[in-house]
Structure 1
């Protein structure tokens, strides 16, 4: 019998075991810093043990296709949050294009990952990132490399503060864990530049991204580097576990 009990179900694992360590050389991410609808950020956080900090959020589209264990693309909406004296980033929306990466993030650490088709392309000194779901474009981001801007004062989004919830088979919640995860100490930065960014979000029945509007885009840019999820920092740390 497969003894890898961190895979669910263990007879049909969706992701490699162990999932950590893994790495992604030549990582590329485009990002925007935006002021979002404050009441919506507070509403989302009201369902969590995390406290509101600011309505500045970070929206990113990232190319993890060079990841050595599972190749994937990622799109994330992260809001600053506090848990007691700990400040970090809470993922309110996250999309990826590989079910193994989705399952690993959800099952191991509680990221709210869902499927979307994600692309990043560069054309005429512009980087275009997009996430599409069921044929509809959820997010479109354009970074203009022809223009630069001063470095932004970015909100705190690490460590990640996740809320992993395990359901009862007959309904309701069995267990919740507050999980801290921070791979940033092992990231090797090659280049980070700041540029004007255009961003558009679109709602669907299951993706109410429009509730974050109005989104006032402060700017953004491009990050290039080598990503590492090491044995030391790649796993999550349980800060609190609650049985219901």
Structure 2
């Protein structure tokens, strides 16, 4: 039997020479023992995992190689990070969204400057400014938003192109831009509602750029909608803003220019629509300029009607109607 003291035996097993040991040698040896003890403890407490597969525990007979849910399949993917997407997949469910719409006419030449080719401005310069308040969206949370759409022509169709969207929720911005090409940017939003009136104020980069004010005139239906009193205003009294076009652009990674450039029609995205209230009135807008956004060319020349609506709906997929990279000019 070896007559070495236990400490000396342990040192011999490690190959560490402590002959004429110094304080540094002893300190290093103690640190070595602590590390070895820790490794032994963790080996006992945590099963060995196969590298690159956090679900595969070594020796697990029920694990089938390559079936890990953590690995992204070749044809799969929604958005990044792939293993924990920034926003959930469609459909997106919205509850009790409160809208205001103000119709106005701008100079057609001014509208044309905001339209991408091959869209052409409508002769009447019709535009719509809208503010909205979303108390609940199951996918993106609560947020406020304002946007502008403008009447235009694409091939043999007349519809509306969405040129500007201001939004104060990060997940909604990413989803809108990446899925539909909705031109959402982060802005400071303030929505005020009182009785029959609604005001949406938008500041971009700390500078006011858009103010939308509307009210339901006295005597016009209030809280009218499907399934309510017969004298309520039907929501189809408001002109349809369809086709609803967006420009989707995703940049290339290997050089300048777009990897994806498509004209998207969002007409069919909203389904299971339930209108809780609807009313008609009048409204005005104020347009200003910031260093990053100048809306003043769209100065109203004439106003149309304004509308208030509260609705719930589900938002699904849209449709690609024109691919710039494959369809050509």
Q: With the length of structure 2 as denominator, give the TM-score of the two structures.
A: 0.65
Q: 2:208 aligns with which of 122, 137, 140?
A: 137
1:138-162 Cα shifts (integer Å, max 9, x gaps)? 2222223353669897554223212
Give, in whole Å, the separation in 1 of the partners of 2:71 and 2:149. Answer: 35
1:170-190 Cα shifts (integer Å, max 9, x gaps)? 212333112112234532222
Q: Does 2:175 match 1:104? A: yes
Q: Does 2:261 match 1:176? A: yes
Q: 1:63 aligns with which of 133, 137, 147?
A: 133
Partner of 2:156: 85
Number of equivalences: 237
Q: Does 2:92 match 1:7? A: no
Give, in whole Å, the separation in 2 of the partners of 1:77 and 1:36. Answer: 12
Unaligned runs of 5+ in 1: none
Q: Do the aligned partners of 1:160 and 1:180 also contact (CA within 8 Å) in 2? A: yes
- Displacement of 1:28 after TM fit? 0.4
Q: 2:245 aligns with which of 152, 161, 164?
A: 161
Partner of 1:186: 272
Against the structure 1 CA distance between its residues 153 and 210, is the aligned structure 2 distance closer, same or farther, given a 3 Å change threshold?
farther
SS in structure 1 of the partner of residue 102 of structure 2: strand
RMSD over aligned CA atoms reads 2.6
Q: Do the aligned partners of 1:147 and 1:196 also contact (CA within 8 Å) in 2? A: no
Give, in whole Å, the separation in 2 of the partners of 1:146 and 1:39. Answer: 32
Q: 1:50 aligns with which of 95, 116, 119?
A: 119
Q: Which has the higher contact order (CA 8 A, sep 6+)?
A: 1
SS in structure 2 of the partner of residue 142 of structure 1: strand
SS in structure 2 of the partner of residue 103 of structure 1: helix
More helix by share: 2
Against the structure 1 CA distance between its residues 70 and 215, is the aligned structure 2 distance closer, same or farther, given a 3 Å change threshold?
farther
Q: Which has the larger radius of gyration?
A: 2
Against the structure 1 CA distance between its residues 210 and 2, is the aligned structure 2 distance closer, same or farther, given a 3 Å change threshold?
farther
Give, in whole Å, the separation in 2 of the partners of 1:225 and 1:153. Answer: 15
SS in structure 2 of the partner of residue 111 of structure 1: coil
Q: With the length of structure 1 as denominator, give the TM-score of the two structures.
A: 0.85
Once the two structures are superposed, the pairs formed by residues 22-37 of structure 1 within 5 Å of their partners are 22-37=92-107
Partner of 1:236: 318
Against the structure 1 CA distance between its residues 90 and 148, is the aligned structure 2 distance closer, same or farther, given a 3 Å change threshold?
farther
Unaligned runs of 5+ in 2: 1-69, 222-232
Q: Do the aligned partners of 1:89 and 1:159 also contact (CA within 8 Å) in 2? A: yes
Against the structure 1 CA distance between its residues 225 and 38, is the aligned structure 2 distance closer, same or farther, given a 3 Å change threshold?
same
